[in-house]
Amino acid sequence: MSFEFILRLVGGVILASVGWWIGEALSAAANSNDVRSTVVLALAGLALGLLLTPYFTTRPMTWARRTIRQIPANHLLAGTIGLALGLIIAALLALPLSLLPRPLGSVLPLAAAIVFAYLGITTMVTRERDLITAVQARLGRDGRNGSGRQVLLDTSVIIDGRIADISQTGFIDGTMVVPRFILNELQHIADSSDPLRRNRGRRGLEMLNKLQKDSVTPIEITDLDAPEFHEADTKLIALARQLDAAILTNDYNLNKVAELQGVRVLNINELANAVKTVLLPGESLRVRVIQEGKELEQGVGYLDDGTMVVIEDGKRHIGETCEVLVTRVLQTVAGRMIFAQLPEKERVR
């Protein structure tokens, strides 16, 4: 027997009793002994109680619970503090206002409570970022470490997998947050009929499990959402703006759209390019030639970090590890490409 059904029965009994009482009162007023109207009113009360009780009990509670779940924790905290401050101010004003002549003395204390509660909530929610900044600055001056900024993870960066290693280095300051809709998208990809998409989705779920077990940086899954949007990327940007959080991604399009909307973006590809070894023309390096290039007699190899090295006259050295001289470094959106040539003695051999 469900809790809602029990509430329906209780509501039905209460309204049936009220209907019976009204029926008896009407019969007594009319000096009538006819109980049919009393029974009809009691049955009507029972029916109304069975039908309407959930709409005044469980349904509002469910709606309130869902609404509160959708409100960011910082908004909820700021609103609660604002409400408390507003009610404290109203309580301090209640006594002098109650001394005013009627009806002002009766109405103004209640009106003041409503007005100051509203002003407290709106002021604190509107200025919550300034409040958080001030608190963090004070904590910093006191020598205590704050929790840092929240960082939202998108689907691409979880599937990529490099975040698992980055999170163990402690470079990410704050808490990594995975919204529930990102987790659902990973699950949807993992259930795809396409083998490639299915493998990518499963890899993402494995990476997320690894993050929860091994990450030095705190990670949490949140039910916060942006229900007014449908696309996962759009939801993520809206949620980042709502929480004043950064987005960690390697999706170029998401990166640009988020930056246009004023959201801070941490791009793993940019980080990878930034930490690659800096090579200047004329420097030497050792690389294994593994395939021929697009141009005649070119050979191609790769550094340990994945950087492509195009070697002039390197085709005849495929399968060998050679010492080469850097001639040019080309930086593109996709990454870095190094052009090199063999030493003079190798070219004339």
Q: What is the pLDDT of residues 140-161, one digit of tens each?
A: 544 444 445 789 999 999 998 8
Q: Please list the residue range(s) of the chain that carry CATH number 3.40.50.1010.
A: 149-273
DSSP 315: G
Per DSSP, helices labelled H in the chain are 3-29, 36-56, 58-70, 73-98, 104-126, 128-141, 155-160, 162-167, 180-190, 195-214, 232-243, 252-260, 268-274, 344-347
Percentage of residues in the chain having pLDDT higher than 90: 21
3-class SS at 11?
helix
3-class SS at 310?
strand
Q: Which superfamily, per CATH, for 284-347? A: Nucleic acid-binding proteins (2.40.50.140)
Which pLDDT belongs to residue 55? 84
Q: Which superfamily, per CATH, for 149-273? A: 5'-nuclease (3.40.50.1010)
Residue 309: count of CB within 10 angstroms of its CB = 23
Residue 311 pLDDT exceeds 50: yes
Which pLDDT belongs to residue 132? 64
Looking at per-residue pLDDT, the higher value among 34 and 180 belongs to 180
Q: What is the pLDDT of residues 45-104, one digit of tens each?
A: 889 988 888 888 888 888 888 877 777 777 788 888 889 999 999 999 988 888 888 888
Least confident of 201-210, 239-248, 282-291, 337-346: 337-346
Which pLDDT belongs to residue 127? 77
Over residues 15-30, mean pLDDT:
85
Q: Please list the residue range(s) of the chain that carry CATH number 2.40.50.140.
A: 284-347
